[in-house]
Amino acid sequence: MSKQKWAIASKSFNAKPAMEFIVTEPIGLLEFLLLKLANKSRNSVKSLLTHGEVSVDGKRITQYNTPLREGQKIRINQSIIREKRQKNALDIIYEDSDIIVVNKPAGLLTIASDKEKEATAYHLLTDYVRQKKPENRIFVVHRLDRDTSGVLMVAKNEKIKLALQDNWTELVSDRGYMAIVEGQLEEKSGRIHSWLKETKTLLMYSSHHAGDGLEAITDYQVLKSH
């Protein structure tokens, strides 16, 4: 068993060039960014604002509810994102001859999609095992969403991967998440029953129409509110 910190080292994942847009009608800044960056989650877009990546007419803006007017120029500079990705690290919680268990940070994809070709936990761990032996591989057992941090398990061979996946519901009988949400929930605890769907741009959204997507049942409890 080993526990260590393994970080992205010399390998560099280049940031995309800055993007510029012209506002064509009155709209809120966050709504505008969500429309233009359709392949990013709401949290990822807010992170751009938090880290000062967005400017309006040359002035850096961090308030997501800033109103925009027709003719204004919006610039998104992603250089800071590149610096953060290079500093991303994976805490290896447990490792043996069959599996590696890590703590995946928020903002890091588990594995690349057709639309995303950036740093992923899969790439980082592949580089890690190949430092010991070039032909080593890893096999993804399950996934965590980009904006979710938590425990992620990968296998070192396909036989173990299939064995874990075949018995996954017995091994993981309950999944718990902690989240920060906007607004106030009417009830301090309850159940949300909905159906999850994914758009062509890989945005996940919740539908309340029965059968319209993958059924999802979430029991929640409010821990703290402001």
Q: Do 19-77 and 4-10+89-168 fall under one CATH topology?
A: no
pLDDT of 190-213, one tens digit each? 998 999 887 766 677 888 888 888
Choose between 111 and 44: higher pLDDT. Answer: 111
Q: Tell me phi and psi for residue 171, to 5 degrees.
A: -70, -40
Statement: residue 215 has pLDDT above 70: yes
Q: What is the pLDDT of residues 136-175, one digit of tens each?
A: 999 999 999 888 899 999 999 999 999 999 998 888 877 7
- pLDDT at site 202: 61
CA distances, 42 to each of 133, 149, 203, 209 (Å): 39, 16, 9, 22
- Residue 3's pLDDT is 52
Is the pTM higher than 0.85? no
- Rounded distance between C-alpha atoms, residue 223 and residue 211, angstroms: 31
Q: What is the CATH number of domain 19-77?
A: 3.10.290.10
- Kindly report, residue by residue over 5-31, the tens digit of the pLDDT: 555 433 444 445 788 999 999 999 999
Residue 41 CA to residue 192 CA, distance in Å, equals 21
Q: Which of 6-10, 77-81, 111-115, 179-183 has the lowest mean pLDDT?
A: 6-10
Q: Where are the domains of the chain?
A: 4-10+89-168, 19-77, 189-221
Contact 7, 87 (CB under 8 A): yes
pLDDT at site 113: 64
- Which residues are identified as catalytic? 145
Report d(CA 126, CA 128) in Å as an integer.
5
Return the CATH class of domain 4-10+89-168: alpha beta
Whether 3 contacts 93, CB under 8 Å: yes
